[in-house]
Amino acid sequence: MILARHADALLWTGRYLERAETTSRCLNYAANSITHLRGDEARAEGELMVRTLGLQEELEAVGPLESQPQLVAFLLSDTDNPGSVVSAVIAVRENLRSVRDRIPIELWEEANGLYLRFPFLGHANVAPAGLHEVLLMVRRACLAISGVLNEGMRRDEGHAFVVVGRMLERSIFTVGLLEASHSDARGVMDATRMLRLTSSLQAYHRQHGNAPDPDGVVRYLLHAPDLPRSVLSCLNRAEEGLTGLGANAAALDRARRKAALLRARLELGEVEEAMTSAPVATLQDFAAQLAGLASDVHAGIVPPLAMATVQAQYVRPGHADEPGNEGEPGHADEWAQ
Amino acid sequence: MLGLTRESGRRRDLPWSAVVDPVPETRSGLLDRYQPVGAFDEAFDDDGSVRDTYSRIVERFRELDVDEIKRLEKLVADEFRRQGITFTVYSEDEGTERIWPMDLFPRLIAAAEWDELARGLSQRVAAMNCFLADLYNGGGQAIADGVLPRWLVMSSQGFERNAMGIAVPHSAHCNVAGIDVVRDADGRYRVLEDNLRSPSGISYVVENRAAMAKACSWLFYDHAVQPTEQYGQMLRSTLESMAPGGEDDAHIVVLTPGIFNSAYFEHAFLARSMGVELVEGRDLVVDGHNVYTRTIEGLVKVDVIYRRIDDHFLDPVAFRPDSTLGVPGLLSALRAGTVTVCNALGNGVVDDKGVYPYVPELIRYYLGSEPIIDNVTTYMMWDPDQRREALDRLDELVAKPVGESGGYGVLIGPHATEQQLDEARATIEAEPRDWIVQELVQLSTLPSVADDRLEPRHLDLRPFVLTGERTQVFPGGLTRVAMRRGSLIVNSSQGGGSKDTWVLAPEAP
């Protein structure tokens, strides 16, 4: 049986690992595409990328994007931005460090190795030369970590939580990408962009030819059961992971049921149908339900016992933090035997 | 050869020795200018000839050149960095994690020498366990019989009133002891310090060996070295024997303050090598005088807690109310006998350097035998005659605060200025209970890598003694080495390094 804290750390390991890889991929795409754009178009692409990654609030704290280097710093090395590559790498390492005793040594070494390859860690807003190489290195390291997770880790509850975390993060990103693409101020959905940002271009070409249409791509990214980054595929794996946590983890039942419900909505075409009349609102609603699923998983990790009640039995009598107990006769001696 | 590692055995006996890590063939003269520094050198006689135990290892190092040494050092450092084998120096502002340098020239201890040392360590820990059991559960017979003064024990910061009457299985209060020993100018082992609370360093013993085996496997071919990787099994069996009621399938956890603790790497290492959970205080909860872990499936009862947290942080109800590291109600569970905390509460009284001078007498009192390993000659500052004598000669002696560890607060007379000596005298006169003064021991030396050659560096040794249902001395230990020429400070927090310690197996008949 896994400790609740360990479950939490491994869930977040999965989420941050996915985030590090996704942000690296998106930043690489943005840096390349902006090179070919000028003025307002470049700014619009930068802002779309921030919206795609769901980092609008974090950007507001920094201020409006004025230049490409600023975008790079924000998404790569800004440690105040929890969605930056460096923040995600640090979070992966710190979460794995707190469960070092239960993960394969190789998994820790890969994560620690990735962290050590950032010489500028701790110095926010320093973008290295050779951005592409750095981002490629991060993505390769993330793949190496995934490899150890898949091939070197026992299929226990810990592994299930990493998978659930990754699938939640991935599905939230894909839905966020679709929603941002639909609401692009430029009024055109770029089908190739959506496929590139989900590493799905090659797979789409093989299955549907070389001329992607936006609506077809949206359906593909929502429904394709064999595409690792489709929402349906993510929900299937998240549900599988939650089911594998054992019948005794009753507190996770709610999350399991919600995952199944969301999967069913996709499979039955309910989401696609609703999108024909109100695509953005439908995707926003789906994104909110995915966020709710993530909250339910977090809530389910805390054991179903009123911990506060148990802790209160042992709060120091007469301690200032416990109003009403001050000077209560007899209590102090009970603890001083 | 049972029980020996893969690297043990003689080179010619190993069919694969010819294809892995060939021994370099150059003769570099790394040791040609080696000059002992007036202390006992463990590798070389006074006349400069190599001692038997070290003959083969010295020969191997003579075959290395500086470039190869540097390459191997980098290999080891990279390995430690990659694995995150680090410790924290709290006083440093930059970064929190630092690698502890390992010197490549290993320390060798011959089988017969180790046997004698192990017997002495077992004897010492047995006597200290007897004293702790007597003090907390036996009415304090040793004090009543005048072996050591009551006021000294009661005034110790390590004495824990809350430990009185708590039953301890097998009367084994100290399950893991780290005894710091040194070799004096004649080469005799002497105990410098006892650590019976949460002695650290065992992870470096095991990881140093692993790193040496990876980087310099050819060094092992000439020696039968006792393995170190079995420590987790030894510790687990020791802790299992401490379960209340002697449960067969005891639920053991390692309790750590968390990832920011200086020894977090070691805590994770211990949990992993035993195959048990590493928990923080917030993972545990006490309900109905039982301790439980908080899992995703609810609460699971705990039988044994190997804690790496000081007494005063263990339970905010009984000790420091501001502690967020401990478990509210843990003391109540201890009193109810539903859980065992290892090491037991209150062991700090024996770590008190003020109690240290009495340990030989405790051995005689409880075991009826003479100490196999002597203390370093120590002057008790609360004794007016001893204080006068020691303060007169303070420039030749070493003054130590009784409540400190890690080398903090130590004054080495010959290295101190007049002003420092005067200040120390005044401090000791003001609070004599807080100080002991010892004869300066010129710690033994071994060749150690220094730039482009091997030079003598001072070192000590921390062997580990495990006690549960029975006592076992782990065959190895943490050799700490002063990295600066002439320095006697070996502590990691003060810039010391470490060496791999090879306890040699007995020669086959």
ipTM, two decimals, is 0.77
What was the pLDDT predicted at B333?
96
Residue written as token pair 């409880």: B366
Which amino acid is residue B400, in one-letter code?
K
Q: What's the pLDDT band for A145 if we cut at 50, 70, 90?
A: very high
Q: What's the pLDDT band for A331 if we cut at 50, 70, 90?
A: very low
Instruction: Report yes or no: A314 at the B interface, CB cutoff 8 Å.
Output: yes
Residues 6+ apart with CB under 8 A from A192: A201, A212
Q: Nearest CA to CA, how far is A24 from chain B (Å)?
A: 23
What was the pLDDT predicted at B483?
86
Determine whether the interchain pair B286/A251 forms a contact, defined as Cβ–Cβ distance below 8 Å.
no
Give me the percent of chain B exceeding a pLDDT of 70. Answer: 91
Question: Higher model confidence: residue B262 or residue B445?
Answer: B445
Say how many C-beta atoms besides its own lie within 10 A of residue B150's C-beta.
11
Flag whether pLDDT at A323 surpasses 80. no
What was the pLDDT predicted at B320?
84
Q: Nearest CA to CA, how far is B477 from chain A (Å)?
A: 23
Among chain A residues, CA nearest to B321: A316
**Average pLDDT of the residues in A290-300:** 91
Polymer length of chain A: 337
Provide the token pair at A242: 């939650």
Say how many C-beta atoms besides its own lie within 10 A of residue A178's C-beta.
27
Flag whether pLDDT at B16 surpasses 60. no
Beta pairing, strands B189-195 & B374-375:
parallel
What was the pLDDT predicted at B379?
96
Beta pairing, strands B284-287 & B277-279:
unpaired
Question: Higher model confidence: residue B98 or residue B152?
Answer: B152
Flag whether pLDDT at B161 surpasses 80. yes
Determine whether the interchain pair B298/A100 forms a contact, defined as Cβ–Cβ distance below 8 Å.
no
Beta pairing, strands B277-279 & B252-255:
parallel
Distances (CA, A) of B406 to B75, B195, B378, B402, B409: 28, 11, 19, 12, 9
Cα four-point dihedral sign B124, B128, B133, B135:
positive
Flag whether pLDDT at A61 surpasses 70. yes
Instruction: Report yes or no: B163 at the A interface, CB cutoff 8 Å.
Output: no
Determine whether the interchain pair A311/B285 forms a contact, defined as Cβ–Cβ distance below 8 Å.
yes
Provide the token pair at B500: 């791999």
Flag whether pLDDT at A269 surpasses 70. yes
Determine whether the interchain pair B298/A248 forms a contact, defined as Cβ–Cβ distance below 8 Å.
yes
What was the pLDDT predicted at A334?
27
Among chain A residues, CA nearest to B260: A98
Contacts of A97 in chain B (CB under 8 A): 84, 259, 264, 268
Among residues B77, B16, B43, B54, the alpha carbon closest in space to that of B217 is found at B16
Whether omega for the bond prior to residue B343 falls within 30 degrees of 0, making it cis, is: yes
Angle B213-B217-B223 (CA atoms, 0-180°, nearest 5)? 100
Distances (CA, A) of B335 to A237, A285, A332, B280, B318: 47, 55, 16, 21, 12
Polymer length of chain B: 509
Contacts of A98 in chain B (CB under 8 A): 258-259
Nearest to A315 among B268, B277, B328 (CB): B328
Q: What's the pLDDT band for B55 if we cut at 50, 70, 90?
A: very high
Nearest to B328 among A1, A3, A314 (CB): A314
Q: What is the pTM of this model?
A: 0.85
Instruction: Report yes or no: A7 at the B interface, CB cutoff 8 Å.
Output: yes
Determine whether the interchain pair A335/B82 forms a contact, defined as Cβ–Cβ distance below 8 Å.
no
Q: Nearest CA to CA, how far is A199 from chain B (Å)?
A: 30
Instruction: Report yes or no: B249 at the A interface, CB cutoff 8 Å.
Output: no
Contact call for residues B312 and B303 (beta carbons, < 8 A): no
Residue written as token pair 């107990």: A325
Q: What's the pLDDT band for A330 if we cut at 50, 70, 90?
A: very low
Range 208-247 of A in CB contact (< 8 A) with B: 245-246
What was the pLDDT predicted at A182?
87
Range 140-169 of A in CB contact (< 8 A) with B: 157
Contacts of A108 in chain B (CB under 8 A): 83-84
What was the pLDDT predicted at A249?
67
Flag whether pLDDT at B205 surpasses 70. yes
What was the pLDDT predicted at B509?
63
What was the pLDDT predicted at A185?
66
Flag whether pLDDT at A117 surpasses 50. yes
What was the pLDDT predicted at B406?
66
E-strand ranges in B238-328 read 252-255, 277-279, 284-287, 290-295, 298-301, 304-307
Nearest to B317 among A6, A116, A314 (CB): A314
CA atoms of B247 and B233, how far apart (whole Å): 17
Provide the token pair at A90: 């640090």
Contact call for residues B93 and B333 (beta carbons, < 8 A): no
CA atoms of A121 and B97, how far apart (whole Å): 14
Among chain B residues, CA nearest to A161: B296
Residue written as token pair 């824990």: B160
Determine whether the interchain pair B268/A252 forms a contact, defined as Cβ–Cβ distance below 8 Å.
no
Range 24-53 of A in CB contact (< 8 A) with B: none
**Average pLDDT of the residues in B297-311:** 94
Q: Nearest CA to CA, how far is A213 from chain B (Å)?
A: 45
Provide the token pair at A155: 């299929």
pLDDT digits (tens, 9 = 90+) for A303-320: 544 444 444 455 444 443
Which amino acid is residue A322, in one-letter code?
E
Contacts of B282 in chain A (CB under 8 A): 5
What is the residue-averaged pLDDT of chain A? 83
Range 281-310 of A in CB contact (< 8 A) with B: 300-301, 303-305, 307, 310
Range 307-346 of B in CB contact (< 8 A) with A: 316-318, 321, 328-329, 331-332, 335
Flag whether pLDDT at A40 surpasses 90. no
Contacts of A316 in chain B (CB under 8 A): 316-317, 321, 328
Q: What's the pLDDT band for A329 if we cut at 50, 70, 90?
A: very low
Helices (H), A183-327: 191-197, 201-208, 214-223, 231-243, 253-267, 270-277, 279-301, 307-312
**Average pLDDT of the residues in B225-236:** 94
Among residues A185, A174, A171, the alpha carbon closest in space to that of A47 is found at A185
* Chain pair A-B, CB pairs under 8 angstroms: 113
Q: What's the pLDDT band for B206 if we cut at 50, 70, 90?
A: very high
**Average pLDDT of the residues in B201-226:** 91
Among chain A residues, CA nearest to B251: A1
Instruction: Report yes or no: A319 at the B interface, CB cutoff 8 Å.
Output: yes
Say how many C-beta atoms besides its own lie within 10 A of residue A196's C-beta.
18
Contact call for residues A302 and B283 (beta carbons, < 8 A): no
CA atoms of B477 and B480, how far apart (whole Å): 9
Q: Nearest CA to CA, how far is B85 from chain A (Å)?
A: 11
Q: Nearest CA to CA, how far is A109 from chain B (Å)?
A: 5
What percent helix, strand, coil does chain B show, rounded to 5? Answer: 35, 20, 40
Among chain A residues, CA nearest to B274: A101
Determine whether the interchain pair B296/A311 forms a contact, defined as Cβ–Cβ distance below 8 Å.
no
Contacts of B299 in chain A (CB under 8 A): 303, 305
Determine whether the interchain pair B321/A316 forms a contact, defined as Cβ–Cβ distance below 8 Å.
yes
CA atoms of B7 and B196, how far apart (whole Å): 32
* Number of DSSP helices (H) and strands (E) in chain A, helices first: 17, 0
What was the pLDDT predicted at B87?
67
Flag whether pLDDT at A150 surpasses 60. yes
Distances (CA, A) of A3 to A179, B188, B232, B293: 36, 49, 21, 7
Q: In what order do the strands lie in the sheet with B290-295?
A: B284-287, B290-295, B298-301
State phi, psi for B49 to the nearest 5 degrees. Answer: -85, 150
Which amino acid is residue B287, in one-letter code?
D
Nearest to B280 among A5, A100, A252 (CB): A5
Q: Nearest CA to CA, how far is A222 from chain B (Å)?
A: 31
CA atoms of B417 and A258, how far apart (whole Å): 73
**Average pLDDT of the residues in B375-394:** 95
pLDDT digits (tens, 9 = 90+) for B33-48: 888 888 999 999 988 8
**Average pLDDT of the residues in A39-43:** 81
**Average pLDDT of the residues in A51-79:** 88
Poorest-pLDDT segment among A179-193, B134-148, B187-201, B319-333: A179-193
CA–chain centroid gap for A322, Å, is 39
What was the pLDDT predicted at A247?
57
Poorest-pLDDT segment among B115-124, B191-200, B246-255, B334-343: B246-255
Contact call for residues A163 and A259 (beta carbons, < 8 A): no
Question: Higher model confidence: residue A34 or residue B119?
Answer: B119
Task: Return the residue in B297, B301, B331, B338 with the most chain A beta carbons within 10 A, the one to mutate for interface testing.
Answer: B297
What was the pLDDT predicted at A301?
85
Contact call for residues A324 and B329 (beta carbons, < 8 A): no
Instruction: Report yes or no: B299 at the A interface, CB cutoff 8 Å.
Output: yes
